[in-house]
Each structure stands twice: as structure tokens, then as C-alpha cells.
Amino acid sequence: MQSKDLADPFAGPPLDPVEIEVFRNLFTALAEEMGAALRRAAFSPNIKERRDYSCALFSPGATPVAQGDHMPVHLGAMPMSVSAALAALGRLQPGDVAILNDPFEGGTHLPDITLVAPVFLEDTGDLLGYVAARAHHSDVGGMTPGSMPLAEEIFQEGLRIPPVLLHRAGKRVQEVWTILLANVRTPREREGDLNAQLGALHTGATRLREIAEQRGLHRTLQAQEALIAYGDRLFRTGVTRIPDGRLAAEDHLEGDGFSDDPIPVRVRITVSGDRIRVDFSGSAPQTRGGVNAVGAITASATRYVLRCVVEDLLGTPLPAGGGSMEGVELILPSGSVVNARPPAAVAAGNVETSQRITDVLFQALAKALPGRIPGLSQGTMNNTAAGGVDPRTGQPFTYYETVGGGMGGGPDGPGLSGVHSHMSNTMNTPVEALEHAYPFRVVRYSIRRGSGGAGMNPGGDGLRRDLEFLTPTHVTILSERRSAGPPGHGGGESGAPGENLLIRGQEATPLPGKVTFRADAGDMLSIRSPGGGGWGRPPTQ
């Protein structure tokens, strides 16, 4: 999408392929360096160790140009955050920084706070683009520590921030800062992580100005638009390699935390030439509990799946921004579990429903591309949030972590074991860092051998992680694939379902997939994540 006000700078010779590739790598390195700066400066283990953040560069027209190798669920939704900030605040001025987390105005769920800043060339005042940094904060208030509660409305989930200015003309808007820190359990940690995000924006802005100063304003703007157009051409070419026709699939969520009734997610895909229509009509209405996904989440999951398939068919990656994907028509029924309306609770929509949307899209596309789509991966992030008072300091603590599991086996080989997959791309918190930061003891951390589905190429195995609480702790779990494991493809068998157990003394009590409870000192939580589905028929014994 070319912005009208940038038409004039594109006069002159077009960029040749070599120059475009140079810019492609410069812009990608900019986004990666933003992420490195954020990680180094962050306070919380969730950002510093798990790397639960994402950074990106956008054109002056607010289209993605480059993204770091960060979180797919963040990156696919971040364009909506940038657009929402510009729609609410108008043209951002030099030194402005917008902040937001409102899922109904460009956000995903409340712990994901996004900062957006414009970048201007200092000598001329020309707009070069926008830099954005999103990070999952381990507490933003709400009814339970970690801000991932079993809630019935968004007001219970934490502080909701519409697009507002955190910095105006280079100066902090102190009232916004004060309100934010007054509504969280761990203000010092939140302040440190927000400052780290600001540092990431500064890094990205500095690098973009350097690129423009070294290579010229017009060439830099022209390169952004050329990369977006190149991404769109590649994407359309990839779509033509999917056979024309109609595809459909259905999967379900295992309840919303208040009911165990299955919650269907349905999709119909129509492929016609270089265009693709993705229709989620028929999916369940939005639910009482927080498994509701906002439209940005469903768009993000769709973008991720289509990009995976297209890159596999082409045998080459799209530019880091992925293009505008203007050839995709997305139909999201309002008021459904894939496009919830306020005041729906949405905390699990970002982390669990996004994975199910991914699964159902892959299942549909497998019908058109037999032999190319892997078995389904674990299909959950196994979210664990906890908090209380740390007896070592007398101060509140909040902990949040997702747990890896089995990746689906595929045509190229078996699935990986104990990894985050699809919409999650985080790492684990190392045992040493976890025990240093929190009043926990890691009693066991191991692979669940044999939990991957059998197949010509078997699915990867899940993990087992046992945490002992050393102080009374309020715990929330949001997980899926506890009733049935992820299916395989091409005759491959399903992976083993996950399990959640509370261990008190010698007694182990099974826990639901979505639950909140208070643990005593000495209690142990055992998270056992699903294995991945197998691919191809298992060899005969």
C-alpha cells in the first residue's frame, strides 16, 4: 500500500534487485537490534529470559516493512496497533510515543503493551516510518496476579489502555505513567520493562535515520514500498500454487473455564487464482470466559499460517514484513469467539484460541496440499501465572510463563520435542533465573518420553515441569489439549494430551485445563504438556 503523500519521492530510477536486498537486510537488522536492546534492558524474566516481546518497522503508510524473529501472535496483530494509534491520535509528532493495550482498539490481550513512535529525518522533518515494540508484562492489575484470570469481562483482567500518548514532544506524560504504575502489583518491574521498550524504540529510530542519511531519503522510502510490493507479489505467486477450490475444517476449544462444553472454531477457505478468502462464519458466539479472540488475533493467526504455507510452496522466505497480504479476504463474524466485542474477557484468546485458529487453518489447507502439512503441534501455550508475597523481600511478585511441548511431525522429519510452536516463539525461563527471581523450586524438568504421536515421522514429545511453591501463592492455569491430543496428518497418530496436577505430599490431584487456586507453601504444580501429532502412517511392526 503506497501512501499518497510519498508518491513524489519515488521519482527517479527504480531500485535494482541487489539494492532492494541490501535494504531488506538493513531493515531486518534494525528490527532484530530493537529486540536485542529490549531484552538487555528489561527487568522481568518474562521479557529478559523468555523473550516474550516483538519489534517491528512500519512504513509511513503504516504497513509492515520488517519484523524481528520474535512472536508471531504479536507481529501479525501489531499493524492494527499502529493503525489504531494513528486513528486515535492523528499524525504523531517528533518525540511522541503512543501506548496502548486495549484489545478492542488494536491490542491483543491486556498484558501485551505496545509502544509506537514516529521516526523523522532530523534535518528535513520528513517522516521515515514508525517503530513499534510490544512486550508481555507479567502483571497489569486485574483480579489475579499475572493478569491472566478466569474472568467474565475485560474489566476483571487488568488495566485497559486505549491509544494515548506516553511521551509528548520528547517529554513523559507523567499523569499516564502514574496511573499505569498505580494499577499494577509490581510497579518497579513494570517501570523497568517500559523503559526497556522505550530504549528499543530509540534504537530503531536511530538506525532508521542512519540508513536514510547514508543512502538517501528518497531511496529509503522507495525501498520500503518496493519491499512491500515484492512481498505482495511473492505472496500472490505462492497462493497460485494452492489448487483452486473450497476447503473447510472444524476444531474446538475445551471449554472456557466456566463450562467444559466444546467451543467450535470453523473455517471455510476459497482459493481462486492469486486470491484467497478465509471465512470463519459458523464459529461459536463469544463466550462467558476469556477464550474470546479479538479480530486482530484471528488476523494474526491467519497471516502466520498463510505465510508458512506460501513460503513452503515457493521454497523462499517472504521479506521480513511479509507484505500487506492485500490478496486475502478475511471474514470474521462480529460477536463470535474469533471476533469478540466488548466487554468480553479475552486473556486466553491471545494465547489459546490463537493456537486453535492456527490448527483449524492447517487442517483445512491439508486437504488441498496432501503430504505437505505437518501433524498438529501441541496446540496450547500451557499458560501459568502466579503471584504472592516473596518472603525473601517482603514485596509482591508476579510470575508468568508458557511451557513448550511437542511439535508435529512433518514430511521432512520428526517433530521437535519440548519447544514452543506456531503463535508462540518464546524460550523457557532457565531454572537458575527462575529460582533466583521467584520463591519457587524447580523439582523436575524433563521430556515426556513417548508423548509424541506415532507416524512415519513421529510427533515431538511434550515436557514435564514441576514447580514447588515456597510461599502461599495464587495460581492460574490456562491450557488446552487436555481432553484429546493434537491430531496427526496423513495417517499419523495423535499426540498425547497434556495434564495439570497439584501435588500435596504424596497425593496428586488432577486439575482442569483452566483453573485458578491458592497453593500452600510446599505444594507442587506439575504441568505436563501435549505431544505433537505424527505424520504419515507408522511403519508396520
Residues 385, 340: Cα–Cα separation, whole Å: 23
Domain positions in the chain are 4-234, 374-541
Query: C-alpha angle 333/339/340, rounded to 5°?
Result: 115
Q: What is the DSSP letter of 133?
A: E
Q: What is the pLDDT of residue 71?
A: 64
Task: Count the Cβ atoms, other than its own, within 10 Å of residue 316.
Answer: 10
Element (H, E) at 462: strand 462-469
Place of cell 502489583: 185
Closest to 44 in 3D by CA, of 199, 197, 202: 197
- Per-block mean pLDDT, blocks of 10 residues, the chain (541 long): 39 83 96 96 94 94 86 74 95 97 94 97 94 96 97 98 98 97 97 98 98 96 95 95 98 97 98 97 98 95 94 91 86 98 97 97 96 96 97 97 97 96 89 97 97 98 98 98 97 97 96 98 98 93 50
Q: In sequence order, which residues have a C-beta less than 8 Å from that of residue 424 and are 6 or more positions away?
A: 71, 72, 73, 351, 355, 381, 402
DSSP conformation letters of 213-260: HHH-HHHHHHHHHHHHHHHHHHHHHHHTTSPSEEEEEEEEES--SS--
Residues 149, 154: Cα–Cα separation, whole Å: 10
Q: In sequence order, which residues have a C-beta less than 8 Å from that of residue 541 and are 6 or more positions away?
A: none
Q: What is the DSSP letter of 349?
A: I
Question: Is the separation of the CB atoms in 401 and 286 below 8 Å?
Answer: no
Residues found in the chain: 541
Query: C-alpha angle 395/526/43, rounded to 5°?
Result: 35
pLDDT one-digit tens code per residue, 350-359: 999 999 999 9
Dihedral angle sign, alpha carbons of residues 215, 220, 222, 224: positive
Alpha-helical regions (H) of 96-141: none
Q: In sequence order, which residues have a C-beta less than 8 Å from that of residue 394 and are 6 or more positions away?
A: none
- Compute the 3-state secondary structure of the chain and give helix, strand, coil in percent, each to the nearest 5: 30, 25, 45
Cell of 536: 504419515
Task: Count the Cβ atoms, other than its own, within 10 Å of residue 3.
Answer: 15
In the chain, DSSP finds a helix count (H) and a strand count (E) of: 11, 20
Q: What is the Cα gyration radius of the chain?
A: 23
Q: In sequence order, which residues have a C-beta less than 8 Å from that of residue 162 and are 6 or more positions away?
A: 88, 100, 102, 105
Q: What is the pLDDT of residue 468?
A: 98
Task: Count the Cβ atoms, other than its own, within 10 Å of residue 445.
Answer: 16
Task: Count the Cβ atoms, other than its own, within 10 Å of residue 441.
Answer: 15
pTM of the model: 0.94
Question: Is the separation of the CB atoms in 480 and 383 below 8 Å?
Answer: no
